[in-house]
């Protein structure tokens, strides 16, 4: 039996007069991205006082009644593709790999193939069902331009065990980041909730208590660099994730005042960096977890790729 897509009934508060329609809907319906809402408006699925909304940017008067009829997204079907993988460990239950920058973890709108999942389907005889369709084996993910260690489940019991470890925070996840400027002190903790950015639904932000999900990152400075090394003061920072929120380290380091070099979303363009990074210089460096079948503690380490430029900076990890 098919299930009808949900419908949302909203009323615009008078205080929000002159707000854009798509911005109002993005704030009122956090489960829908702004681009998704704009697509619904274009498809005539957003009805404003009985009439289909004319455009995403139309300004509200206050007091309008709005009905939003969701449409299910087109299903994604992952296919096997012969894409090279840097596998560090593999047995019948799991696989640990070093993901290169630029590789999307799983198919999504705009990235239907050429992803890590497509490579896994070619490499592995079996994978867990995953957390959603088109995500077989995927227990956790890394952003497209974040490199480093990622664990994959090859069967459902392994997936359940690994997912529970991430949820209960019994895994250990350490990242390396090259950041702008010199953090005050040698180490610290950032305990700040993270939620959707109020106006840009593709971004996350530190938000007020109760408006997002708790997020904790601890950090320590491994090395500092003067302007003569990179063109501006910078630091190599090790971050440990104690929670797993979307873009957590990137958002927290920006909140600290030291965004990651090359992070166009949270750091913006930086003049004078030599060489100019092609992506955010963030790398999942160390990972420790319990084997889902034996319980044995497994630890992995993967050095950052060449684009970090650590060898030229004389850094030895």
Q: Cα separation of 39 and 170, whole Å?
A: 40
What residues act catalytically? 143
Report, as ranges of residue numbers, the positions in the chain whose pLDDT lies below 50: 1-2
CATH number for the domain spanning 146: value is 3.30.2350.10
- What is the DSSP secondary-structure string of the chain? ---PPPEEEEE--GGGTT-BHHHHHHHH-TTS-HHHHHHHHHTT-EEETTEE-S-TTPBP-SS-EEEEE--PPPP-----------EEEE-SSEEEEEEPTT--SS-BTTB-SSSHHHHHHHH-S-----SSTT-TTBSS---TT-EEEEEEESSHHHHHHHHHHHHHT-SEEEEEEEEES--SSSEEEEE--EEE-SS-TTSEEE--TTSSB--EEEEEEEEEE-HHHHSS-EEEEEEEESS--TTHHHHHHHHHT-PBTT-TTTT---TT-SSPPSS--EEEEEEEEE-TTT--EEEEE----GGG-TTTTT---
Within a domain: 58: yes
* Among the listed residues 235, 267, 234, 236, the one whose alpha carbon sits nearest the alpha carbon of residue 250: 267
pLDDT of amino acid 120: 97
Last residue of one domain, picked from the residues 168, 185, 218: 168
Assess if residue 316 is contained within a domain.
no
User: What is each CA distance from 127 to 137, 158, 257, 292, 298, in whole angstroms?
Assistant: 5, 10, 41, 14, 20
- How far is residue 39's CA from residue 41's CA, in Å, rounded to a whole number? 5
Residues in the chain: 317
Residue 75 lies in a domain: no
pLDDT per residue over 232-242, tens digit each? 999 999 999 99
Q: Residue 59 belongs to what domain range?
A: 7-69
Distance separating alpha carbons of residues 129 and 79, to the nearest angstrom: 14
Q: Please tell me the predicted confidence (pLDDT) of residue 75.
A: 57
212 and 233: one domain?
yes
Rounded to 5°, the CA angle 172-176-178 comes to 155
- Residue 179 and residue 160 in one domain: no
Task: With respect to residue 82, please indicate whether it lies within any of the assigned structural domains.
Answer: no
Same domain assignment for residues 19 and 60: yes
Question: Domain holding 19: CATH number?
Answer: 3.10.290.10
The residues that bridge with 34 in the sheet, in sequence order, are: none
CB 179 within 8 A of CB 230: no
Pairing of strands 172-180, 282-290: antiparallel
Q: What is the pLDDT of residue 130?
A: 82
Residue 239: name the closest of 269, 260, 225 by CA.
Answer: 260
Q: Do 185 and 263 belong to one domain?
A: yes
Quick: pLDDT tens for 65-107. 999 998 765 555 789 999 999 999 999 999 999 999 999 999 8
Are 202 and 257 found together in one domain? yes
Q: Say if 114 falls within a structural domain.
A: yes
């Amino acid at each position: 039996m098919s299930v009808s897509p949900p419908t949302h009934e909203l009323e615009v508060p008078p205080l929000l007069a002159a707000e854009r329609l798509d911005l109002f809907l993005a704030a009122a319906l956090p489960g829908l991205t702004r681009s998704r809402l704009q697509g619904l408006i274009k498809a005539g699925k957003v009805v404003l006082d009985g009439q289909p909304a004319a455009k995403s940017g139309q300004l509200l008067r206050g007091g309008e009644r709005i009905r939003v009829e969701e449409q299910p997204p087109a299903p994604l079907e992952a296919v096997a593709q012969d894409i090279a993988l840097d596998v560090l460990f593999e047995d019948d239950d799991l696989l640990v790999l070093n993901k290169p920058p630029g590789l999307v973890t799983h198919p999504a709108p705009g990235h239907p193939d050429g992803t890590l999942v497509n490579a896994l389907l070619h490499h592995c005889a079996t994978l867990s069902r995953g957390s959603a369709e088109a995500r077989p084996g995927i227990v956790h993910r890394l952003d497209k331009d974040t490199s480093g260690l990622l664990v994959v489940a090859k069967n459902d019991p392994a997936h359940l065990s690994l997912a529970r470890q991430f949820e209960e925070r019994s895994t250990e996840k350490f990242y390396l980041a090259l950041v702008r400027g010199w953090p005050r002190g040698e180490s610290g903790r950032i305990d700040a909730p993270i939620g959707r950015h109020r106006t840009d639904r593709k971004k996350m932000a530190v938000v007020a208590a109760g408006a997002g999900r708790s997020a904790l990152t601890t950090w320590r400075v491994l090395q500092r660099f003067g302007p003569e090394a990179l063109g501006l003061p910078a630091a190599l920072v090790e971050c440990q994730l104690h929670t797993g929120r979307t873009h957590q380290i990137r958002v927290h380091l920006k909140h600290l005042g030291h965004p990651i070099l090359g992070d166009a979303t949270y750091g913006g363009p930086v003049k004078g960096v030599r060489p100019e990074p092609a992506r955010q210089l963030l790398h999942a460096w160390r990972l420790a977890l319990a084997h889902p079948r034996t319980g044995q503690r497994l630890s992995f380490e993967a050095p950052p790729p060449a684009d970090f430029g650590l060898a030229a900076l004389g850094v030895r990890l």
